[in-house]
Amino acid sequence: MNIFQRMQNIDRRWIYLVVALCIIIPLLIPFNSKTYVTDPSSNLYQKIDSFAGKEDKAVLLSFSHDASTMAELFPMEVSILRHCFERNIKVFTICFSPPSAPLMAYALNVAKEDYPNSQSGVDYCNFGYKPYGLFLPIVLGMGDDVAEAVQTDADGRKIKNLEIMNGIRNYDDLNLIVDFAASAAVFSWITYARVRFGANVAAGVTAVMAADNYPYLQSGQLVGMLSGLKGAAEYEKLVDVFAAYEDADNPNGRKYSPEVIKDTWVPIMSKKISYDSSQGNIDTDVPLPYKFKMARIGMNAQSIAHIMIIVFIILGNIGYFTTRKKPDETI
C-alpha cells in the first residue's frame, strides 16, 4: 500500500484530533500576527470616534443574539464599549430578546473593569431587556423622544432623570445604532430608524451573515460593519492604535490616520507605545490583557484550523485521483 492509499484509509478521528489541536494550541499559547484593517471596520471606528467628548452625540448598541454566537460577537461588543469609555463617548445598550440581556450586562461589566470612573446613568446607560412586541413602538418612538419611548432603564430608573440624557433627545443625537446579530435583525433598524429618521446604522454580524449585509453596506444604508472574528480583530487593533494611545500631545488618543494603521503593528502579546517629547522617542512594551485581544487570538486559531482543513482537502483529492483505478483495470 503506497502513501496515497494509506491516506485514503486514515481513520477520520485522527483528522478531527489534528484540527482540534490546531484550534486549542494557539488559544493556549498565543502568537503574534499582523491584523489588516478593512474599510467597513475603519468606517465604523471613525463614525464612533467622531462623537468623542460631545455631550449631544451618543451611540446605541443593540444586542440581538444568544450565547451560541458569543465567540464572534462578544469580542466586538467589548471593543466598541472600550472605545466609548476610552474616548468619553456616551453609549446606550438595549435588547429585545431574553437571552441577550445577560450577555449585554456581561459585556458592560467586562468593558468597564478598566474604567472604574465610568458611571451608569452618566457615561453609559443600559436600557435592559424590552419585549419584542415593543420593538416597533420603541424604534419609532426614539425618533421623537428617547426618554419617552424607553421610559426606564435596566435598574428601573426614569430615563429622563438621568444625567446622560443631557443633550440627547432623538436620533439627531442618538445618531448611530450598532446591531450585534446572528440574524437579519439589523434590517429592521435600517427599515425604520434609517429610512424613517435618517439615523446612521451599522452592523456587527457573524461571518456567515456578512454576505447578506454587503448590499446595504455598498448602498450606504450601513455606515460600517464588523464581520465575525475578523471584524472584531480589526476593531481591537483600531482601539489599540488610536483610542488607547497616549502621549504628551494626545492624552486622549491620537488622531485617526490610515497611514498610522498601515505602519503600526500591535502585537497581541504586548502593545508598543511611543512617547514623543523634547528628549526624543521612548518605546515601551505594555502587556495587553486577554480581554483586549480575544478576537486576535481567536483569529490565529481559526486561521490555522482553516489552513489545516484545506491541506487535508488537497491531500484527500490527490490521494483519491492517484489511487482511482483506470477503466481498463476494473473487473
Ranges of each domain in the chain: 3-20+299-329, 39-230
Cβ distance 155 to 120 under 8 Å?
A: yes
* pLDDT attached to residue 3: 77
96-105, 206-215, 283-292: least confidently modelled range: 283-292
Q: Which residues of 240-268 are buried (b: 16+ CB within 10 A; e: fewer)?
A: bbbbbbeeeeeeebbebeeeebeebebbb
* pLDDT attached to residue 278: 47
Segment 171-184 mean pLDDT: 93
* pLDDT attached to residue 54: 92
SS3 content of the chain, % helix, strand, coil (to 5): 50, 15, 30
Segment 310-326 mean pLDDT: 81
* pLDDT attached to residue 245: 77
The 3-state DSSP class for residue 273 equals strand
Q: Which residue has cell 492509499?
A: 5
CA dist 13 → 20, 30, 93, 134, 319 (Å):
10, 26, 44, 49, 18
* pLDDT attached to residue 277: 44
**Residue 44 pLDDT > 70, yes or no?**
yes
Helix 294-323 × helix 12-28 angle, to 10°:
160
* pLDDT attached to residue 135: 94
Q: Is the pTM of this model over 0.85?
A: yes
- Mean pLDDT, the chain, rounded, equals 89
Q: What digits encode the pLDDT tens for the residues 111-163? A: 999 898 999 999 999 999 999 999 999 999 999 999 999 999 999 999 999 99
**Ordered DSSP codes for 123-159:** TEEEEEE--GGGHHHHHHHTTT-HHHHH-B-TTS-BG
* pLDDT attached to residue 331: 47
Helix 70-86 × helix 39-49 angle, to 10°:
40
Q: What does the alpha-carbon distance between residue 228 and residue 156 come to, in Å, rounded to a whole number?
A: 33
Q: What digits encode the pLDDT tens for the residues 220-261? A: 999 999 999 999 999 999 999 998 876 656 667 788 888 888
Q: What digits encode the pLDDT tens for the residues 51-108? A: 998 999 999 999 999 999 999 999 999 999 999 999 999 999 999 999 999 999 999 9
> Higher confidence at residue 171 or residue 6?
171
Strand order in the sheet with 200-205: 124-129, 90-95, 58-64, 176-181, 200-205, 225-227
Q: Which of 202-211, 261-270, 280-289 has the highest mean pLDDT?
A: 202-211
**Residue 279 pLDDT > 50, yes or no?**
no
* pLDDT attached to residue 273: 58
* pLDDT attached to residue 303: 92
* pLDDT attached to residue 155: 92
Closest by CA to 104, choosing from 122, 86, 87, 120, is: 120
Segment 178-191 mean pLDDT: 92
Cβ distance 49 to 88 under 8 Å?
A: no
**Residue 262 pLDDT > 90, yes or no?**
no
Question: Going by C-beta distance under 8 Å and a sequence separation of 6 or more, which residues neighbour residue 236?
Answer: 35, 75, 79, 292, 293, 294, 295, 296
* pLDDT attached to residue 70: 94
Q: What does the alpha-carbon distance between residue 119 and residue 238 come to, in Å, rounded to a whole number?
A: 24
**Residue 2 pLDDT > 60, yes or no?**
yes
Give the pLDDT band (50/70/90) at residue 178: very high
Which CATH code fits 39-230?
Answer: 3.40.50
